[in-house]
Structure 1
């Protein structure tokens, strides 16, 4: 496990924040102009007919209820990446030569025991090889099974300090015992895989998004997983969320990210892409390419600007 590399990420977040509208609506530098309707129309135009981007637009549209689709069968979406899902929320397993890094842990010990453990086993992954459980943020559907996996297999549980603090303050059911902090820019190496963590606050105060390698038919790709999609309620928190989108997009560009993943597969057409892959798609549908992953983040940015404008127009 290497030392944190947070300076670049902090600088990117500060630079991104400088582009946001200031409180009261005065632009700082060159924030995108227009009404909420303008932003939403621009996002729809950016998305075009792309089902992944259209799904994101729908997920971020005000008043839309998060989908709760039928749970898919588990699947290796890459040679070394597996997904286990309840439909509403998904767990992503990075299968390294030194064991498993599990991103998120569903909503309860019961779900960990009845879903994560047997479904990983069905893919030929030994659950006892889980070394780390990473909670992308401090909501119960992401950390609920973490302590079960820690107690049963000795896995270490990781979360950002602010979301550990959130759990300490709120004391939710099934909260794991505080274990490892995720510093901004931290890298974790397990076996042949290194994952980098980047603070992307907004959805929660300590949401974390990740960049890591993913191999498909032996070819290496660079993947990202966005840690928290649904915007927060307060305008100030939406501004933080928007700054995180801008900063992480810059990190993705630097890293050459080609693969987009999400822990809620209904928000990014992820569950449908699983079925395309299961049906024998020639090209892996999770490999969007660098330009399309950047467009994904641009759509998210534009929708977030629309959400902020919606609040300001309604007197929020």
Structure 2
């Protein structure tokens, strides 16, 4: 699906002129919603991670398990014919000492990993991929742009170039089909996913946003806005009602895991946020990014002020 240009989209909505206007609007959209407020914090200029304990592994859905650290997670989608692992943490050691034992602890057999999907070409997402490929024969998938990115940068623990992900591509394993969307912005080849999940036997549709932290260049931030708009449209068409992220501090994900683990949410799954709220999540992201673009413009004209959302900036994202 073609992406609209960020400039045209801004003109179409009659966007505010000042960065602070965007940040205020995003905070207003977030209201008291902890998921949306967390996103505002994560996208605030200068956001710094708050200290947190590494979460214990958890099946957040009947067919989805999350393992990892307080900073980054790997998400296992369990199918009738094996496992699709989205992201692989930062190193072979983390794959061996975190991914494998933590998957086993929640009843997911790591020997059944058939695909490792790197949501983008940063080492905290692909670092354990080659280890899993070598140990279990898993195929590693990434967008062509980010395969090129890691080839140019030659980072440690980079996987050998394997399968490429195209925009709109579907991957079916057993009874499950995952759909990939090219959502450039965080990196040139960031990929976000849409896939079915089940909670207590009931089907829902989840999205997993592939990369949150805004890029440095203003032009790349405009590309990011276009990605958000296009992906929100895809979400709307298929009825996405579950929001997931590979950095749980950026979307209240760590806290939601604990709510689910402790039973504080009752029979409700806190990752099922509903279609309207999922769309609002994307609108908050769009609005914060427009604020970041306006902040860049104000800095370039020498009029940068201390524009900040009214939500305290203690989040993180990557």
Residue pair 2:7, 2:222 contacting (<8 A) in 1 also: no
Pairing 1:251-290 to 2, within 5 Å after superposition:
251-280=234-263, 281-282=265-266, 283-290=268-275
In the TM superposition, what is the alpha-carbon distance from 1:121 to its structure 2 partner?
Answer: 0.6
Residue pair 1:160, 1:206 contacting (<8 A) in 2 also: yes
Residue 9 (structure 2) aligns with: 20
In the TM superposition, what is the alpha-carbon distance from 1:77 to its structure 2 partner?
Answer: 0.2
Pairing 1:1-316 to 2, within 5 Å after superposition:
9-10=1-2, 13-14=3-4, 17=6, 19-21=8-10, 27=11, 29-67=12-50, 69-280=52-263, 281-282=265-266, 283-315=268-300
Number of residue pairs matched by the alignment: 299
- Aligned partners of 1:66 and 1:244: how far apart in 2? 25
**Post-superposition CA distance 1:33-53 (Å, at most 9, x none):** 231000000000000000000
Residue ranges of structure 2 left out of the alignment (5+ in a row) = 302-318
- Aligned partners of 1:274 and 1:181: how far apart in 2? 31
In the TM superposition, what is the alpha-carbon distance from 1:124 to its structure 2 partner?
Answer: 1.2
- Aligned partners of 1:198 and 1:31: how far apart in 2? 27
In the TM superposition, what is the alpha-carbon distance from 1:65 to its structure 2 partner?
Answer: 1.6
In the TM superposition, what is the alpha-carbon distance from 1:68 to its structure 2 partner?
Answer: 5.0
**Post-superposition CA distance 1:112-155 (Å, at most 9, x none):** 00000000011111110000000000000000000000000000
SS of aligned partner of 1:206: coil
In the TM superposition, what is the alpha-carbon distance from 1:70 to its structure 2 partner?
Answer: 1.5
**Post-superposition CA distance 1:59-109 (Å, at most 9, x none):** 000011234521110000000000002110001000000100000000000
**Post-superposition CA distance 1:240-271 (Å, at most 9, x none):** 01110111000000010000000000000000
RMSD over aligned Cα, in angstroms?
1.1
- Aligned partners of 1:68 and 1:180: how far apart in 2? 36
- Aligned partners of 1:276 and 1:41: how far apart in 2? 29
SS of aligned partner of 1:148: helix
Deviating 4+ runs (over 6 angstroms): none
- Which has the higher relative contact order, 1 or 2, with Cα contacts under 8 A spaced 6 or more apart? 2
SS of aligned partner of 1:232: coil
TM norm structure 1: 0.93
Residue ranges of structure 1 left out of the alignment (5+ in a row) = 1-8, 22-26
